[in-house]
Structure 1
Amino acid sequence: MPSVQFVRGMLYLSLTVVGVPGNITVILAFLLLLYQENRLLPADTIVLHLACVNFLVVAVRCLLETLASLRLAIIFGDLSCKAVIYIYRTSRSLSIWLTFILSAYQCLSIAPPGSRWASIRALVAHYLGFVFLFLWLLNTGMSYATLLYALGVRNDSSLINHSINLEFCYIHFPSELAKEAIGAAQVGRDVVPMALMTLASLIILVFLYKHSQQVKGLRGSSSSGGGRGRGGAEQRAAKAVIALVTLYVVLFGVDNGLWVYTLTVRKTMISSLISDLRIFFSSLYAALSPVVIIASNRKVNGRLRCVLQEKPVQEKATSLSTM
């Protein structure tokens, strides 16, 4: 096995090992919460949806790339290339937009009750299902080029021009203009939510700073104790969202920088190394985001602790019943 292929396979394996169980854990924790409380808050619903699309990113792309790189399975033909890349790109872009929706909703959550922004938050919460539907339609529609131009690996000199080499698949555009136009549309689709979520995070940071200054001024007075629980929960949620947005901006910033680079290279097929780096950095967000969620979300932590504590109790009861 070539050393490059082995290293490639191990990198994708590391993303799979972290991302698949991590996202499954978040999904099961919120499903357990839904079962116990018969409802989910809008922010929890967004996080659950985010974990589902991140699971698709890691399971569909990274797992299959691992199997192919380590020569464990031969799975990439024309049809499978179209399906895998289409699902990956749709899920990846949905992950970006859902992170924006989460940051925007958290930004609206800090608005004072009765304000116009609080009314917008209630409106978003009421029509959250339609928001999800719109995002799915938008991103599945904008990923259509994959279904048209993705091909399996083959010995064809005509694939050299206007193509992107994905190691096991090619994306062969009909012309340089089509390559640049589709690439620019994808960059725009990513940059818009990135700019908006960055703005929302800056607003949250300003609020947290002002809130900390108010707490310092009120510290020691009895009036500061009444709203501490709610304020502390809001601050924890806000900090978790900022951590996710920061992770996104860093990783997808590198991803989009590499994508812009591929659009500037003319008349030659882009090296598979560049595509591997892009996929790795964009998939790294899908793999690491559940770690941030598990570490910062008290509801997820609470459900996991309950499950872990129930196991020793059940084992002890079983052992006592057999005595």
Structure 2
Amino acid sequence: MRTSDIVIGVIFLSQTVVGVLGNSFLVYHYLLLYFMGCSLRFTDWILQHLIVANFLTLLCKGVPNTVSAFEVKDFLNDFGCKLIFYLHRVGRGVSISSTCYLSVFQAITISPKSSRWTQLKVRSRSYISSAVYMSWILSFIVNIDFPMYMTAIWNHKNMTNIRVYQYCSSVTHDMALDIFYAVLHSTPDVMFMLMMVWSSGYMVCILYRHKKRMKRIHKSNFSFRSSPEFRATKTILLLVSTFVFFYTISCLLQINMSVTRDPDSFMVHMASVFSACFPTVSPFLVISH
């Protein structure tokens, strides 16, 4: 076994263990609050969907990547390849949509009462609740092609028109069809990213205006920094900025792999590492705030 394979295996194993422990702690935290009869905020409900998506991403990517890095061959059959790639893509899609909805809901929540969002505040919970459930359905539908083309590597040992992803493979298409699928899978992600960036920028502007306003009111005893709204906004902005950073790199690598006939192992490993970074880090960002 090469040293590079051992290093990659340790990275995947560390990401998976740390990420699962962090998300499991959040699950324990919410279960504890539930049995104690505590009321949760709506953002906590969205975070619970994000936790489920994190588990899907980590378990369906981290575990098989770790096993593959330690040179265990042919440990997945066709059904296993189809299932883990499909569930990973579903978890990835729900992860970006849940982070987006967190940002949008918080932007609506802290918007001034005199703004155009006043009427939307009342109905925002029902709208976003429906949108979260729809994002699961959309993610299941958009990624339905993955089970159709993913197969075990040992089924195609003597074929040349395949694209190998460490422990699984897929049949390659012509370039036009590859570009079509890349655009199909990227379009919802780009839309969510734009919404996320817009709502985050809107929140930053609100916080900046409030800070300037508070400087003029020296006798005010109210501190927005100590309010639950400010702490929630700060946490969500931190989540969004972290997500945008890791997801942008992951998305570029995924697109590159989609249009490359024979992606090298380094590119495949880096795409897997960056796709697991946010599910690993995000629970600790929530816990720390």
What is the TM-score of this pair, normalised by structure 1? Answer: 0.82
Match of 1:207 in 2: 206
CA distance in 1, matches of 2:157, 2:55: 34
Alpha-carbon deviation of 1:272? 2.9
Match of 2:189 in 1: 190
In 2, are the aligned partners of 1:165 and 1:275 still within 8 Å (CA)?
Answer: no
Q: For residues 22 and 59 of structure 1, do their structure 2 counterparts lie closer, same or farther at Cα, with a shift above 3 Å needed?
A: same
- Counterparts of residues 272-283 of structure 1 (less than 5 Å): 272-283=265-276
In 2, are the aligned partners of 1:96 and 1:193 still within 8 Å (CA)?
Answer: yes
In 2, are the aligned partners of 1:82 and 1:146 still within 8 Å (CA)?
Answer: yes
In 2, are the aligned partners of 1:12 and 1:66 still within 8 Å (CA)?
Answer: yes
Match of 1:31 in 2: 31
- Runs of at least 5 residues in structure 2 that lack an aligned partner in the other structure: none
Match of 2:126 in 1: 126
In 2, are the aligned partners of 1:42 and 1:128 still within 8 Å (CA)?
Answer: no
CA distance in 1, matches of 2:225, 2:174: 56
Match of 1:254 in 2: 249
Match of 1:80 in 2: 80
In 2, are the aligned partners of 1:165 and 1:272 still within 8 Å (CA)?
Answer: no
Matching of residue 156 in structure 1 with residue 149 in structure 2: no
Match of 2:287 in 1: 294
Match of 1:270 in 2: 263
What is the TM-score of this pair, normalised by structure 2? Answer: 0.91
Q: Deviations over 1:77-99 (max 9, x none)?
A: 21101001100010011100100
Matching of residue 234 in structure 1 with residue 229 in structure 2: yes
CA distance in 2, matches of 1:259, 1:72: 24
Kindly report the root-mean-square deviation, in angstroms, between the aligned alpha carbons of the 2 structures.
2.1
In 1, are the aligned partners of 2:22 and 2:280 still within 8 Å (CA)?
Answer: yes
In 1, are the aligned partners of 2:101 and 2:128 still within 8 Å (CA)?
Answer: no
1:259 partner amino acid: Q
Q: Deviations over 1:181-213 (max 9, x none)?
A: 111111222111111101111111111111111
Alpha-carbon deviation of 1:115? 5.1
CA distance in 2, matches of 1:243, 1:138: 26
Match of 1:45 in 2: 45
CA distance in 1, matches of 2:81, 2:181: 18
Residue 277 of structure 2, aligned match among 269, 274, 284? 284
CA distance in 1, matches of 2:38, 2:130: 21
Q: Deviations over 1:49-75 (max 9, x none)?
A: 111211221122202321332257863
Say which SS state the counterpart of residue 37 (structure 1) adopts.
coil
Matching of residue 66 in structure 1 with residue 66 in structure 2: yes
Q: For residues 174 and 200 of structure 1, do their structure 2 counterparts lie closer, same or farther at Cα, with a shift above 3 Å needed?
A: same
Q: Deviations over 1:157-178 (max 9, x none)?
A: 53x44x4421001122343322
In 1, are the aligned partners of 2:74 and 2:167 still within 8 Å (CA)?
Answer: no
